[in-house]
Amino acid sequence: MSGKDGRGLVPRSVRITGWGHYAPERVLTNADLEKLVDTSDDWIRSRTGIRERRVAAPHETTATLAAIAGKRAIAVAGLDPQEIDLILVGTLTPDYWMPSTAALVKEAIGNTRAAAFDVMAACSGFVYAYATADAYIRSGMYRHVLVIGAELLTRFLDFSDRNTCILFGDGAGAVVVSASDEEGGGLAGMEMTTDPDGAYMIWLPSGGSKSPPSAETVRRGEHYVRMEGKETYRYATKTLATSALTAISRAGWDPAEVDLFIPHQANIRIIESVAKGLDMSMDKMFVNVDRYGNTSAASVGIALAEAVDFGRVKVGDKIVFVAFGAGFTSGAAAVEWTADPANGRRAASVAPAASVRAPVDWDSVDPMPARLTAVLNDRGGPPVPLDDVVPGEPEHAHRKVPA
């Protein structure tokens, strides 16, 4: 199958060989949110199924969350980070507009040879990135692709807007997708859609070329996520089942054959409605929205890693990833599982820490939303520290580009 450098020959199959996730330690409960906005634990649980979500610490960034999940997936695949040929990060909350978060992840995982870029498809980002990885490997161009969905949404939320701030959380999920000499398994059917009619149903107005950040855009709160909840809900319930059915039919499967659905974890009611649309029992839906909230592009990756580690997936199972998100986008992948779930134990060898170097002549201001810091500190325990935001090597900013 392989040419001299592993490229140029078409594999017999393309398979998921590693998986991993990382969720920041700090938990934000519905009770915490009751102190910030006019809401209640009962309302949030009954309307969304969310009990708590995670909040990244000040020294963490999307790239550091992604790097930990990525290193875990690489360990599970039994690879050295240097064996990764391409790094794809699905995110709508990158560290910077440039460089890509994938470029920062490359350095953080200790890889010097991979190509790296971000995939921007909002909550469908992980599924889109997985499809991209599969296509690159299927073409013979690369052997091992690291696919990560990572988000640090709590830094883009208005913690006085009860419409949005109760829904989202931080985290990262990853898989390694690899060329295989064996026949069968892996991605069997795929569907991706984009419907720009929904472009302004969930969006972040300022920061791009249409509305560069300024004191005025900040005054207007245009650097926060805005959402038409009802329209988004309607789109999600309509599209998720359709996308999943299309991917299943392209795989040549009957929906009843599917062992487990790994849906985007946005809202338990959306997941229930998808189960109903597919005529499936909720036993076939993996759910962890109660513990993480909506982690956007990270959601399917985290759910997949947990599903495998919790013993919900075995070799030969037919599983379906299905997501929707801003754009509107949707993506579904019908996948035959091939990896030994016991390999998941290897992730324990990866410490939950990663760092990305920052320039010596620049320091970020406190990245935490002030209202969020106040409520977290108010709970007791140690105050949230604002260290050097990204501990790094000072010479980085002035390092010359190697010839």
Nearer to ligand ACO among residue 89 and residue 390 (C-beta): 89
Residue 359 CB: number of other CB atoms within 10 A?
A: 14
Residues 278 and 261: beta-carbon distance below 8 Å: yes
Nearer to ligand ACO among residue 63 and residue 123 (C-beta): 123
185 is an interface residue for ligand ACO by CB under 6 A: no
Nearer to ligand ACO among residue 268 and residue 390 (C-beta): 268
Q: How far is the CB of 145 from ligand ACO (least distance, A)?
A: 23
Structure tokens at 184: 């069968």
34: left (phi over 0), alpha (psi -120 to 50) or beta: alpha
Q: Is 264 a catalytic residue?
A: yes
Environment class of residue 274 by beta-carbon count within 10 Å: exposed (0-12), middle (13-18) or buried (19+)? Answer: buried
CA distances from 6 to 137, 142, 144, 219, 353 (A): 11, 7, 9, 52, 31
The single residue of 30, 111, 123, 267 carrying the catalytic annotation is 123
Instruction: Find the part of the chain contacting ligand ACO (CB under 6 A) among 53-61, 158-166, 353-361, 384-392.
Output: 158-166
Nearer to ligand ACO among residue 83 and residue 151 (C-beta): 151
Comparing CA positions, the residue from 247, 262, 332, 342 lying closest to residue 303 is: 262
By CB under 6 A, how many residues form the interface with ligand ACO? 22
Q: How far is the CB of 292 from ligand ACO (least distance, A)?
A: 13
Among 62, 91, 180, 267, binds ligand ACO (CB under 6 A): 267
Backbone angles phi, psi at 177, to 5 degrees: -110, 130
Among 224, 233, 261, 286, binds ligand ACO (CB under 6 A): 233
Site string for ligand ACO, 211-230 (x = CB under 6 A): ----------------x-xx
The single residue of 30, 144, 264, 267 carrying the catalytic annotation is 264
Residues 36-55 that bind ligand ACO (CB under 6 A): 39, 43, 47-48
Residues 121-150 that bind ligand ACO (CB under 6 A): 122-123
Residues 231 and 200: beta-carbon distance below 8 Å: no
162 is an interface residue for ligand ACO by CB under 6 A: yes
57: amino acid identity, one letter:
A
Q: How far is the CB of 319 from ligand ACO (least distance, A)?
A: 21
CA distances from 86 to 36, 117, 137 (A): 41, 8, 10
Q: Is 165 a catalytic residue?
A: no
CA atoms within 13 A on the CB side of 278: 35
Is 153 in a helix, a strand, or coil?
Answer: helix
205 is an interface residue for ligand ACO by CB under 6 A: no
The footprint of ligand ACO (CB under 6 A) covers: 39, 43, 47-48, 122-123, 162-163, 166, 202, 227, 229-230, 232-233, 236, 266-267, 294, 296, 325-326
